Amino acid sequence: MSWPAALLWVLIVAAAASNGPGLLYLLMVCGAFGSLQMLPGSGGATLLPQSVCAAVFVCKVLIQRGNVLRGVEAALDPQRLLLFTAFLVYALFGAVVLPRLFAGMIEVVPVSAFRFGTDILKPGAGNITQSGYMMLSYAATLAFAIIGQTDALRAHYRRALLYAAFALVATGLVDLITYTLNIGAVLDPFRTATYALLTDVEADGAKRVVGLMPEASSYGTACVGFAAALIFTRPLYRAGVEQLLVLGAIVALLLMTLLSTSSTAYVGLAVLGAVYGLDLLVRMLDAGNPRRGQIGLEFGLIVLAVFAVFAAFVIKPTLFDPVVAMVDKMVFQKSSSASYAERSLWNRVGWHAFLDSGGLGVGLGSIRVSNWAISILGSTGLFGALLMFGFIAQQLVAAPRGASREALLFATVTKLALVPVLVMYQLSGTIPDIGIAVSAALGMIAATHTPSVGLRPVSRSPRGSLSASGGPSEVRS
């Protein structure tokens, strides 16, 4: 176990024992350490810091008085997590049965494959590990659905997003600086994951920034995801220093996305721009929209950015040639790359696994693809896909039941921020797991629904508890 892993273990235990929101903040920040093995030794499955922190976070939520019953209610509530609960039960059943039912009959690309090619389906360790990841993501969604019903917890969640954004930017800068100074070896203790790491790759002579993630694609897409979250939730932060910090984080994340040279991240940026533009138009045309307050400021920033780009182009027309060339190579010429050929093979084999199984799927952890929708279909079949896609569509479309004005506003901006992330999943999602960050967002959306029956949130919680009433301590927003 490397020293960063040991330090994070200490921080996680300390945050879990504290009477504050530290564990929530640490949960989000740990997402920047996507290549750090938290287990001793150099073999076996990789346990990431965010997974450890998420497991501790879930446990801390569930041990608080009344939260188990609230969790059962949320899990069985048709407007909150019932579809996700049904999906998890079916997916876990399929992970045990389907690989054995179709063993030796269907061609797949295994999750653990280290070579270009296919294999014949058989039960393996991937069925266990991927089932574990899916259970953890579900548990994280459930935990946030339990505690995310108060303004205090939503404020902590927004600050956690900001801290995570700065962590991503900082790790990206460290990666770029150490590479430039030829001292990249100092980051080796942070890059101990057992799967393949692509950390020293160049594109047209320029370093592909990966931060402390496994590869540029995972880093770039993470930057886009947090940029989207901050762009849409920015009006909810406190005016003054906090909003300035959010604005600085957005600019830095967009810059780091460009430096990642990830084609998936570039597409995500385009989708983010389209969603933001449509949302801005809706707010302009809807006089009663509660988010009209800062339209003037947003227009001013957009005009300033366009003017700055135009002025730079006039002063030096060739300034943007490297950027244009990079986008052309990484997006429009992507189909001629070896990576595209390999990922296309994954998708084709995964789709045929879905068809060859009669639409039943071959089980969680049985296939590797490069498209999240195909991963769900190939792993859990048509029934599992209907449950998962139905759950996500429900959370994105349904209006929160009995929500306050603040909760409705929070749900709206969180839904908008998820759209670019879900689109990027369709370009690079290799496994069915939706990840902790997306799970947290979906749980926070589900939490905006007032419980239909049974337990209601209590009015006050003991200091430092993760309960349905106040989240991690009653810290002032």
CB 214 within 8 A of CB 201: no
Q: Of 255, 231, 228, 256, nearest to 243 (Cα)?
A: 231
Residue with tokens 């990027």: 424
Query: Cα dist. 13→38, 52, 74, 411, 470 in Å?
Result: 13, 10, 27, 31, 21
The predicted model scores a pTM of 0.88
Helix-helix angle 67-76:82-101, to 10 degrees: 70
Neighbours of 281 (CB within 10 A): 10
Per-residue pLDDT of the chain in tens (477 residues, 90 and over written 9):
899 999 999 999 999 998 889 999 999 999 999 999 998 876 667 889 999 999 999 999 999 999 999 999 999 999 999 999 999 999 999 999 999 999 989 999 888 765 567 889 999 888 999 999 999 999 999 999 999 988 999 999 999 999 999 999 999 999 999 998 999 889 999 999 887 788 887 776 678 899 999 998 999 999 999 999 999 999 899 988 999 999 999 999 999 999 998 889 999 999 999 999 999 888 888 777 777 777 777 777 777 777 777 777 677 676 566 666 666 666 666 666 667 778 888 899 999 999 999 999 999 999 999 899 999 999 999 999 999 999 999 999 988 878 788 889 999 999 999 999 999 999 888 889 999 999 999 999 999 988 765 545 443 443 444 554 444 333 332
Burial class (CB in 10 A: 0-12, 13-18, 19+), 338: exposed
276 touches 295 (CB < 8 A): no
